[in-house]
Amino acid sequence: MPVTVLRLGLVDPDANRQSLARRYGAAVEMAGYADEHGITMIQTEEHHGGADGWQPSPLAFAGAVLGATRQATVTVCALIAALYDPLRLAEDIAVLDLTGGGRLVTVAAVGDSPREYTAHGRDWARRGPLQDEALETLLAAWSGKPFRYRGHTVRITPRPYSRPHPPLLVGGGSRAAARRAARLGLPFFPSSHQPALETYYHARRKEYGTSGWCLMPARRTVLLHLSEDPERCWATYGRHLLHEARARAVRQPLLDRTAARAAVRDMAALRRQGVYRIMTPEQCVALALAEAGRTGLVLHPLCGGMPVAEGQRSLRLFAQRVLPRLATRTGRSAA
């Protein structure tokens, strides 16, 4: 059965405090439901200062999700590590690693917005050194041994559950990110399908004498919403998918984007692009079988401020009418 991902976006451009509180609470409940039905991974991300309320605190949210689940991996993709106090970040991830029994996976990247750095009192021009300091501090802190930090000797307790340390990947779409991962002996997660960057990463690993591996994304990540009537759903709720696609294009103008390779002007252009798709459960099963494990299924039920009730319907269709059929086709029992 392919890897299945529940992507929980908390964007809501029309939110008030009551509706946003309901959305966050519903997202945690959806994570628990997904876990009970065998979804492999639950994913969140980090952005700051957006008018539409894009998730700014992924570790706090990950803690709530870990508490509501028992089996699924919880992935922060990506954490902007350079914006954090490195010692506090080491402590927070260690506690979450203990809480979840090693189920938290962190992908650390430098981010894509100078404004986020300015808002947090960080220098965008120094994002590389800041990221180096953050990652080096995490690895030293999780060893449980005293180490030198900014002129002082410190020791971080408690040690994490995972050994040698909590799962930590370096994310990014640049050679600098690949070099950083290679130098530190950490796995590398390119921000898009870039085989040449994977080759570069392994070449640098050999130079540094480190171990590691590369988690290469598929050529195209398809973000799914399930509905009994896709055409009606596009007409009623497609504006939410369009909102996120446009927001990503604005946020990431310099990147080879996976979720939004180019700005889309309207719904027709978004549908032609084929990244955001609304499908029936039967179409979703057919997609999974056609891909034959080359990529995972990423369900994005709260995309762009999607109404909670509609997101819950999408998740139920996925859990009840897609997962059991995939498990049967691959000879595995349904969760």
Average of per-residue pLDDT across 284-297: 88
309 belongs to a structural domain: yes
Same domain, 19 and 63: yes
H or E segment and range at residue 22: helix 17-36
For residue 262, the model assigns a pLDDT of 53
Name the pLDDT band for 331 (thresholds 50, 70, 90). Answer: low
298 belongs to a structural domain: yes
pLDDT, one tens digit per residue, over 36-61 is 999 999 999 999 988 888 889 999 99
Q: Where are the beta strands (DSSP E) in 45-163?
A: 73-80, 104-109, 147-149, 152-154
Same domain, 66 and 131: no
101 belongs to a structural domain: no
For residue 151, the tally of other CB atoms under 10 A from its CB is 5
Contact 218, 169 (CB under 8 A): no
For residue 158, the model assigns a pLDDT of 96
**Cα distance between residue 116 and residue 13, in whole Å:** 19
Same domain, 183 and 233: no
The residues near 235 (Cβ < 8 Å, ≥ 6 apart) are none
**Residue 261 reports pLDDT greater than 60:** no
Same domain, 38 and 3: yes
Tokens of 303: 């995309």
What domain range includes position 155? 89-94+108-217
Based on the structure, what is the number of domains in the chain?
A: 2
Burial (0-12, 13-18, 19+ Cβ within 10 Å), 229: exposed
For residue 224, the model assigns a pLDDT of 98
For residue 196, the tally of other CB atoms under 10 A from its CB is 10
Of 172, 198, 217, which residue constitutes the final position of a domain?
217
**Residue 153 reports pLDDT greater than 80:** yes
Residues in the chain: 335
119 vs 14, residue with greater confidence: 119
> SS3 for 211?
coil
**Of 7-11, 135-139, 152-156, 247-251, minimum mean pLDDT range:** 247-251
pLDDT, one tens digit per residue, over 176-230 is 999 999 999 999 999 999 999 999 999 999 999 999 999 999 888 899 999 999 9
204 vs 331, residue with greater confidence: 204
For residue 291, the model assigns a pLDDT of 85
Q: What is the mean pLDDT of the chain?
A: 93
Same domain, 153 and 265: no
Same domain, 185 and 236: no
Burial (0-12, 13-18, 19+ Cβ within 10 Å), 226: buried
264 vs 10, residue with greater confidence: 10
295 vs 310, residue with greater confidence: 310
76 belongs to a structural domain: no
62 belongs to a structural domain: yes
For residue 252, the model assigns a pLDDT of 56
Average of per-residue pLDDT across 84-92: 98
Tokens of 326: 């995939």
Same domain, 203 and 224: no
Name the pLDDT band for 258 (thresholds 50, 70, 90). Answer: very low
103 belongs to a structural domain: no
Closest of 43, 45, 137 to residue 82, by C-alpha: 137
For residue 217, the model assigns a pLDDT of 92
Three-class DSSP labels, 260-306? CCCCCCCHHHHHHHCCEEEECHHHHHHHHHHHCCCCCEEECCCHHHC
Same domain, 268 and 326: yes
Of 217, 236, 251, which residue constitutes the final position of a domain?
217
Same domain, 322 and 228: yes
Same domain, 228 and 161: no
| DSSP class of 173 | S
Of 182, 197, 217, which residue constitutes the final position of a domain?
217
**Cα distance between residue 241 and residue 235, in whole Å:** 11
For residue 263, the model assigns a pLDDT of 65
Closest of 271, 276, 284, 270 to residue 316, by C-alpha: 284
For residue 255, the model assigns a pLDDT of 41
317 vs 329, residue with greater confidence: 317
